[in-house]
């Protein structure tokens, strides 16, 4: 099966890393297509960045559908445009925050999210509530690391993430950890060994959920709220996005 993993920001280097993380867990028969929009924010660090990344991400969903992929992953921890993407797609579309949170709730009664900037905590908090995961999510901790700093080998980002994970275990009694940024997709195994609790990366979790759903013959329900968009012609520059 072919799964399109969409990095909604425009940083190709991060797209590569996300693709690697996806391939590291993908099953033998799964082909991963890691893509990103050409236009938009180079990193997503708030609601405005999210909103501006969505049209490019949706265009990629549309392209993927044309190319016949079996499902999509939205690889940004805010799950931007998730419901809209589901309208466009026949197969499953999974956000990495929802994937990580659902998976975490299956192996631990209480998990914590460790994320980047403090200002993105509210996004994760709203998602936890929306997904019914608030009772499992015992803390959302920020590291104040900018998204693109995660790519910088000179940064002490890794040490700061580890410290915050440890605080979640000791102070919030977290029993599993969710990494709150697609840019952390390479860390979970090493962190888990170091910390002694399961550490979950949303990119891997989302890939496995798409594989699972496709493997069961399941796609997005088109019978109601997520039916294909109503056909209409968009105005002006956005004409090419007309559903």
Residues 3-62 that bind a copy of itself (CB under 8 A): 10, 25, 27-29, 38-43, 45-52, 54-56, 58
Q: Does 79 bind a copy of itself (CB under 8 A)?
A: no
Binding span for a copy of itself by CB under 8 A among 91-99, 155-163, 178-186: 91-99
Q: 45-76: b or e for each residue (b if 16 or more CB lie within 10 Å)? A: beeebbebbbbbbbbbbbebeeeebbbbbbbb
Secondary element (H or E) of residue 130? helix 121-130
Contact assessment for residue 101 and residue 127, using Cβ atoms and an 8 Å cutoff: yes
Question: In the structure encoding, which two tokens stand for residue 166, read together?
Answer: 């440890």
Secondary element (H or E) of residue 179? strand 176-179
Residues 145-184 that bind a copy of itself (CB under 8 A): 146, 169, 173, 175-176
Q: How far is the CB of 217 from a copy of itself (least distance, A)?
A: 6
Q: From CA 131, how far away is CA 106, in angstroms rounded? A: 14
Give the 3-state secondary structure of residue 128.
helix
Give me the residue label for tokens 């910088």: 152
Interacting residue with a copy of itself among 13, 16, 135, 144 (CB under 8 A): 135
Closest CA to 204 of 123, 61, 102: 102
Q: Which is nearer to a copy of itself, 161 or 202 (CB)?
A: 202
Q: How far is the CB of 23 from a copy of itself (least distance, A)?
A: 12
Contact track, a copy of itself, 212-241, x by CB under 8 A: xx-xxxxxxx-xxxxx-xx-xxxxxxxx-x
Contact track, a copy of itself, 95-124, x by CB under 8 A: ---x---xx-xxxxxx------xxx-xx--
Interacting residue with a copy of itself among 16, 67, 83, 156 (CB under 8 A): 83
């Amino acid at each position: 099966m072919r799964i399109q993993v969409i990095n909604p920001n425009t940083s190709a280097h991060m797209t590569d890393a996300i693709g690697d993380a996806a391939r590291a867990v993908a099953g033998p028969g799964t082909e991963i297509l890691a893509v990103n929009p050409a236009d938009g924010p180079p990193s997503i660090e708030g609601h405005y960045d999210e909103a501006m990344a969505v049209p490019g991400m949706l265009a990629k969903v549309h392209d993927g559908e044309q190319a016949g992929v079996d499902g999509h992953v939205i690889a940004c921890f805010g799950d931007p445009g998730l419901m809209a993407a589901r309208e466009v797609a026949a197969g499953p579309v999974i956000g990495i925050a929802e994937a990580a949170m659902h998976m975490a709730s299956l192996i631990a009664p209480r998990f914590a999210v460790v994320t980047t900037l403090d200002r993105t905590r509210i996004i994760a908090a709203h998602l936890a509530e929306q997904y019914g995961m608030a009772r499992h999510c015992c803390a959302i901790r920020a590291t104040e690391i900018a998204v693109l700093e995660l790519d910088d080998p000179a940064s002490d980002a890794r040490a700061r993430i580890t410290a915050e994970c440890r605080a979640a275990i000791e102070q919030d009694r977290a029993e599993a950890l969710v990494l709150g940024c697609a840019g952390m997709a390479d860390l979970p195994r090493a962190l888990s060994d170091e910390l002694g609790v399961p550490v979950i990366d949303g990119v891997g979790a989302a890939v496995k959920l798409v594989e699972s759903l496709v493997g069961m013959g399941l796609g997005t329900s088109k019978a109601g709220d997520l039916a294909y968009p109503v056909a209409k012609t968009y105005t002006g520059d956005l004409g090419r996005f007309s559903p």
